[in-house]
């Protein structure tokens, strides 16, 4: 995990399909989609702010974007059940 990265969760409620697709595209380029409107990623606070601003700029009145930062203690206590995508591990991936 890069220095200063935190587990960050983005979730939105966007009414218009066109805007929702644009927001999803921005988030899919940065994070892992874990539900239709929920994305997880490890990133710095500055990167999370930049991504948040890009999505927030699309929102219409009544739409919302929430960004949750999960610290080490909260992440340690987080559980995933069922067919859910597991939380992205702290280390990088190695392909053989």
State how far the Cα of 11 lies from the Cα of 19, in Å rounded to an integer.
14
**DSSP class of residue 84?**
P
Instruction: Quickly name the fold that domain 6-76 has.
Output: Alpha-Beta Plaits (3.30.70)
User: Which residues does residue 10 pair with via DSSP β-bridges, in sequence order?
Assistant: 39, 67
pLDDT at 94: 43
Domain extents in the chain: 6-76
pLDDT at 92: 53
pLDDT higher than threshold 70 for residue 66: yes
**Full-model pTM:** 0.82
């Amino acid at each position: 995990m890069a220095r200063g990265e935190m587990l960050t969760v983005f979730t939105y409620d966007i009414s218009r399909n066109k805007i929702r697709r644009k927001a999803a595209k921005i988030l899919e380029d940065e994070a892992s989609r874990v539900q239709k409107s929920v994305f997880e990623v490890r990133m710095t606070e500055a990167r999370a702010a930049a991504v948040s601003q890009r999505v927030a700029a699309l929102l219409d009145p009544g739409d919302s974007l929430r960004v949750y930062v999960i610290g080490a203690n909260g992440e340690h206590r987080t559980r995933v059940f069922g067919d859910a995508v597991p939380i992205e591990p702290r280390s990088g991936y190695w392909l053989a």
